[in-house]
A and B are shown apart, each in its own frame.
Chain A
């Protein structure tokens, strides 16, 4: 290992020297402060956790499709405490469910969408040499790792991991086993990671953008990360506060979320009481509704880049999209209680929150419509990133529109906590956000590696995933409308009203398992193309934004000379121009 102290930041004149000292393996690939390495670390970590969370769900889907039937082949691996004889216990199902949600949201999608794409692409797109605070950036990634390890470790504590859902509603979560304490500690690490990341992104965007790159010349992706970072910065601390209070309830015996006289297993609890269980829900959803936008906005950004690039046209209504995005970010702070219509908040509060919820759907529709109209009249190149990006539009559209009945008090009450909610939410996040993220991986892979991913394998991955996603989630609308609760570990096999929907669970489950098979081409392609993909130059997609001015892969410090922006981000097919794209960084 070579000299580990790296860049000597105390020398004011060092700015004029080009540092080329060789960093050792650990400093270069593990404890790196380079935003590109950190971005790739985040992405790979996020993808691994997505796969892990998906695996948890595939195990759950067995018991939903075939309740009470022993899981073949691997059923014996989970031990008698979880699956005696290979048959799933309800406690284990709850464990899987809680951890599936937590891992997918906080360790899968957010690290990939914000940590991964934000870190790798954002500084390049604004022409910056790195993030504003490289060491904080590294700390942010390692906080994520600590949080992830804590979550994984919680599977091995007595009683297993958290079982109270990803929402950890009190008072059940307060009286749950040790796994919940681990969950809370893990969440505090993850929240710290997000906070450090968010303030870094914001500072970088404001301070390190290239000369001439005004805010209205930002690529839409930069805007989406900018608004997302504000949401993370301001919405996560209340959950941290709630996490601290729940930790106090569990460890120090306080009663923030514990009402008086609670009876558990026939025993009256001896805590002081007087707490408020609904307070947890308020604090949780104050984070978790903006969190939904944290999940979707980066995908909007990625899809916008890819659509503009592959239709060879400017985005339709760029300004309207930006204003909608900012408005969406603001509104997302005042809609949270639409998750809580069942708490008996009263009609006045419900009316307020359903009104704000209907209002927030307007900017989402503006963005989606603008993206759709951007396709109009373009000569579209259907490469793999574009296929994922175009599929995003109807898939997110289904997710968004089916959310409207959930945002209205009257229709939410019968639908609350049924499979309908699962279907709605997953249409937004799985074929929505994850399609956006997949598009982004195929699109920026050449920038990270200098090679393109294989198109044939990419198209197999796309087609299989698109079909399977719908096979998984479309039946859940039917199951949900029949009134089956999402919390039932056997999909309601003991209830008469659920009998007519049992076969749909089999369809969903097989959809999920087959979808797993269609990820194999992607995983293979991801690694194979690092060494064997088609070699490409700095700008393989003939794109206009600044990240394509840097070499592929960009060296430490990104650009040989600091780039400058001369025009807006999407100058495609400018009449009279020599080629059909005019990069932002080229002086005319």
Chain B
């Protein structure tokens, strides 16, 4: 028994199951990060003083990371577009680049974290750092999760392309939607934490 509409659209909704599933999942993610941003606003407005982000954090590293993530979103789209044109080799290159850029982001983040820990600025140091570690930590988990899924589609998951390229392309598209969301969260996080 197979589930209908896994890789072709239902006519009246115009969607596959996976497309609806990933958008619903992103809706719940919006609520997750939304609650965290709301908490940040409440704690910050209630605080007698609050450091400007650039006095504590390294804006240059974060700017570099922003560029890295935006580039990875572009390569993600290119990976999907290559599949649409049925160019599997090109897909492999772009998908590999997406994963590598994700790794670059995490490495830069590692250096940022270890620098702060080295000078005794852990999460318990101040509420600013508590917000910083919680939000960026959760975001990093999302980056890592996206990388795992992308690595699966780059490697063992790509076998599906041989038998059902349409389904495989859809899967990459859904993974891409998640990747763009993770990118978008960072685009909110960067000014909120580093610049304001």
Residues of A within 8 A of B (CB): 7, 9-12, 14-15, 18-19, 129-134, 136, 195, 198-200, 202-203, 206-208, 233-238, 240-242, 244-245, 248, 252-256, 271-272, 274-276, 279, 282-283, 286, 556-557
Stretch touching chain A among B32-40, B61-69, B106-114 = B32-40
Q: Which of B13, B46, B127 contacts A206 (CB 8 A)?
A: B13
The interface residues of chain A lying within 8 Å CB-to-CB of B27 are 233-234
Query: Closest residue to A239 on the B side, CB-wise?
Result: B35
Q: Chain A nearest CB: distance from B77 CB in Å?
A: 24
Contact A276 B124, beta carbon cutoff 8 Å: no
In Å, the complex CA distance between A274 and B130 comes to 11
Given A9-B2, A207-B15, A254-B134, A199:B25 Cβ within 8 A: yes
Given A10-B159, A207-B15, A276-B43, A241:B32 Cβ within 8 A: yes
The interface residues of chain A lying within 8 Å CB-to-CB of B122 are 252-253
Contact B31 A238, beta carbon cutoff 8 Å: yes
Residues of B within 8 A of A (CB): 1-7, 10, 13, 15-17, 20-21, 24-25, 27-29, 31-36, 39, 42-43, 46-48, 122-127, 130, 133-134, 138, 159-160, 163-164, 167
Most A C-beta atoms less than 10 A away, residue of B2, B25, B133: B2
Contact B4 A208, beta carbon cutoff 8 Å: yes
Q: Which of A18, A134, A203 contacts B21 (CB 8 A)?
A: A203
Enumerate 20 A-B pairs (CB-CB under 8 Å) in ascending A order: A12-B7, A12-B164, A15-B2, A132-B3, A132-B21, A133-B3, A202-B24, A206-B15, A208-B3, A240-B32, A244-B36, A244-B134, A252-B124, A253-B124, A254-B124, A271-B124, A272-B126, A274-B46, A283-B35, A286-B35
The interface residues of chain B lying within 8 Å CB-to-CB of A202 are 20, 24
Contact B21 A7, beta carbon cutoff 8 Å: no
The interface residues of chain A lying within 8 Å CB-to-CB of B4 are 15, 129, 207-208
Q: Which of A237, A252, A274, A557 contacts B35 (CB 8 A)?
A: A237
Q: Chain B nearest CB: distance from A216 CB in Å?
A: 14
Q: Which of B17, B42, B43 contacts A203 (CB 8 A)?
A: B17
The interface residues of chain B lying within 8 Å CB-to-CB of A271 are 124
Given A9-B2, A129-B3, A283-B35, A254:B123 Cβ within 8 A: yes
Most A C-beta atoms less than 10 A away, residue of B13, B21, B33: B21
Q: Which of A199, A248, A557 contacts B130 (CB 8 A)?
A: A248
The interface residues of chain B lying within 8 Å CB-to-CB of A11 are 163-164
Q: A132-B21, A282-B42 provided; 9 other pairs, C-beta below 8 A?
A: A129-B4, A134-B3, A206-B13, A207-B5, A207-B17, A235-B31, A241-B39, A244-B138, A276-B43
Query: Closest residue to A202 on the B side, CB-wise?
Result: B24
Contact A276 B46, beta carbon cutoff 8 Å: yes
Most B C-beta atoms less than 10 A away, residue of A235, A242, A272: A272
In Å, the complex CA distance between A133 and B25 comes to 13
Q: Chain B nearest CB: distance from A299 CB in Å?
A: 24
Given A203-B24, A274-B43, A19:B1 Cβ within 8 A: yes
For the complex of A and B, the 8 pairs showing the least CB-CB separation, nearest first, are: A253-B124, A254-B130, A238-B35, A237-B32, A557-B1, A241-B35, A237-B31, A199-B24
The interface residues of chain A lying within 8 Å CB-to-CB of B164 are 10-12
In Å, the complex CA distance between A15 and B3 comes to 8
The interface residues of chain A lying within 8 Å CB-to-CB of B42 are 276, 279, 282
Most B C-beta atoms less than 10 A away, residue of A132, A207, A208: A207
Contact A253 B123, beta carbon cutoff 8 Å: yes
Q: Chain A nearest CB: distance from B18 CB in Å?
A: 8
In Å, the complex CA distance between A567 and B124 comes to 62
Contact A233 B1, beta carbon cutoff 8 Å: no
In Å, the complex CA distance between A59 and B78 comes to 62
In Å, the complex CA distance between A241 and B35 comes to 6
Q: Chain A nearest CB: distance from B9 CB in Å?
A: 10
Query: Closest residue to A271 on the B side, CB-wise?
Result: B124
In Å, the complex CA distance between A7 and B46 comes to 56
Most B C-beta atoms less than 10 A away, residue of A195, A233, A241, A276: A241
Q: Chain B nearest CB: distance from A247 CB in Å?
A: 9
